[in-house]
Structure 1
Amino acid sequence: MARAELTTVETVHDERSWLFTVADDYGNEEEVILLPCEESVEAWVNTCPHEFQRFDRGMGAAMRDGQVICPKHGSMFDTCSGDCDNGEAAGTTLVDVGLAVDDGTVYLDDEDYVFRHEGGIDDTDDGPSSTSHLSF
């Protein structure tokens, strides 16, 4: 699958997280978050492996001291390694997604996924779903 341009390292560091949606070979969609890691970024499936809670629900992921925080139990995962050593998720690791970074631009570079769109699974720019022809 072709590399897809996502955003910039600078944007991820400024916003603290960046959410996008991918699909696998069967069309199943998955949310992925980009998180700052030292001078670069890492990509993780947007789900706590303990109880499958989304880290970023469309408003950014909660972060503290280089760790992303599970909104349900407060377990914290290292943004660089994906490892958790505390709380109810201790001993688990986030599922990684392949990236490439060229000259500050971040690309999805994972043969298992194709880029769908920025934002969460339910975030699309398809316009209003109403079929009403009323105008005000």
Structure 2
Amino acid sequence: MTQRITIRDAVLSKLKNLSGYTFPPAGTTESICPEKLPAIVVGFANEPIVHQMDGGTSRQLDLTIAAVVKSSGDIYVELDHAAADIESVLQDDSLEGTCDLFLLNQTQFALDQDHPLGEVRLTYSAQYSSEPTDF
């Protein structure tokens, strides 16, 4: 298993402690239907890599955590609640030692104008290094 999957799984493990959310299989949103909302999906965004002179690498894996919610009232209240829930369980700045640094970088909000649905997408960066290769 790669460090990316280890970090993703650590995030999912923490998020699954939240009650009231469903977790569709990784990499798909097909099983998200209104009856299964709110739902949380975790994925990779990008991973810039810096090569070090000793042969190791410094990596910054950006993960997206998207919560899809529905509301018959103020959708922004539901989106804010979902964002607060996610942030509350992802406060460990090393993600229990799976990375060197784990921080929230951005929060985005989107609405579906045709339905009472919204999405809050939090982007976290996980910095980690790989060991230099022996020559």
Taking structure 1 as the reference length, the TM-score comes to 0.25
Question: Higher helix share goes to which structure?
Answer: 2
Report which structure shows greater RCO (CA 8 Å, sep ≥6).
1
